Amino acid sequence: MYIKPLEIPRHILAAQALDVRIPASHLFKEKISKRAANLLSGYKGENAMRYHLQFLPEDDFLIFHYIRLPDEYKHFQIDFLLLSRWFYLIIEVKNIYDNINFDDLGQTYRKIDDNVEVFTNPVEQINLQYRRLLSWLSKYDLPSVPIEKIVVYSRDDTYLRNLNNDKRISDIVMHRDKVLSKVDSFIDKHQTPRISEQQLLDLSWHLLNEHVPEKDGGMDQFNVNYDDLIKGVLCPDCGTVPMQWKSGKWWCDFCGCTSKTAHRQALMDYALLVGEHINNRQARDFLRVGSSYIAKDILQKENFEKIGSTSGRKYRIDLENLFKSRSWKQKARSSHQKSRSSQ
């Protein structure tokens, strides 16, 4: 049973928004794009686990996706944490194409032709997660429960090579289609309940209560300020910015696309990168509309919460509802490089 369901974390949405809103001429554009792509790839790998995890006994396991907990070394993050009365399981997910090699020096790398790309050793990474989770659990008066750990490569076409036949690697590292049989082996290994159902629920409450989601979409990391951002409503068909507001619709001068709701993605970007509260002047500037009446009409039709009096009124952008209502056929997110703004 999912206690913390699988959903795309806010900092990944913010990284995507930053990538779209930063012009190609920006000093850190390449790094910003690479970070957004890597974060999204990681989430896609975690999402690929959904199918296999649904076959676990629902009454026996509590599943947490993306748990980020504080400790004396700031925070540590776990892709999936599975709790049961018999054992806990940490799952670290990797979404890497082609080949992955593990050598006798503890290096993890991908080699394509003469190019070698080195990655963090996932075995050492998950061992550190294990240590930090163990320390975090020690704060609570709960029984000791065995903690298992596995590293899962989510792509079926990833070629895993254990060059030194290291048993630690073969025990921990696997493709996703091996996960269920591995969990079955843990079930066979741990036959004695170590914790009561109530204690398990108490632990779940502590996990949810102490979870600290990452909020930084990268603006601080790359020294980006508001003036660096591309303003305007992006065309959902071709990515051109800005669209023009005419006769109650957004019009794209480049491809002729029209939309009544294209501003929602722009408001999402504003909430993710700038803040969840916006006033009329700020909306006019970011959406690139010249009339305060148009901006007011757009904001009011979204039924956002109003804060303050008429002269100083702000609107709280409902990020969750905007995200739920947006179309996943948004071509602007995948083709923003085609944007014909004044970049």
Q: Are 289 and 245 in contact (CB under 8 A)?
A: yes
Q: What is the pLDDT of residues 170-207, one digit of tens each?
A: 999 999 999 999 999 999 999 999 999 999 999 999 99
Across 206-232, average pLDDT: 92
User: What is the percentage of the chain residues whose pLDDT exceeds 90?
Assistant: 88
Inter-residue contact 153 to 44 (CB < 8 Å): no
What is the phi/psi pair of residue 203, to 5°?
Answer: -65, -40
Q: Which two tokens stand for residue 83?
A: 């709790």
pTM comes to 0.89
- The 10s digit of each residue's pLDDT in 9-35 is 999 999 999 999 999 999 999 999 999
Cβ-proximal residues to 42 (8 Å cutoff; 6+ apart), any chain: 93, 95
* Beta-carbon contacts of residue 290 (< 8 Å; ≥ 6 apart): 284
Q: Tell me how far apart the terminal alpha carbons of the chain are, to the nearest angstrom.
A: 47
Decide: 106 and 121 in contact? Cβ < 8 Å: yes
Strand boundaries in 120-237, DSSP class E: 147-153, 159-162, 173-175
Token code pair at residue 198: 């109530």
CB distance 222 to 28 below 8 Å: yes
| pLDDT 10s digits, 48-68 | 999 999 999 989 999 999 999
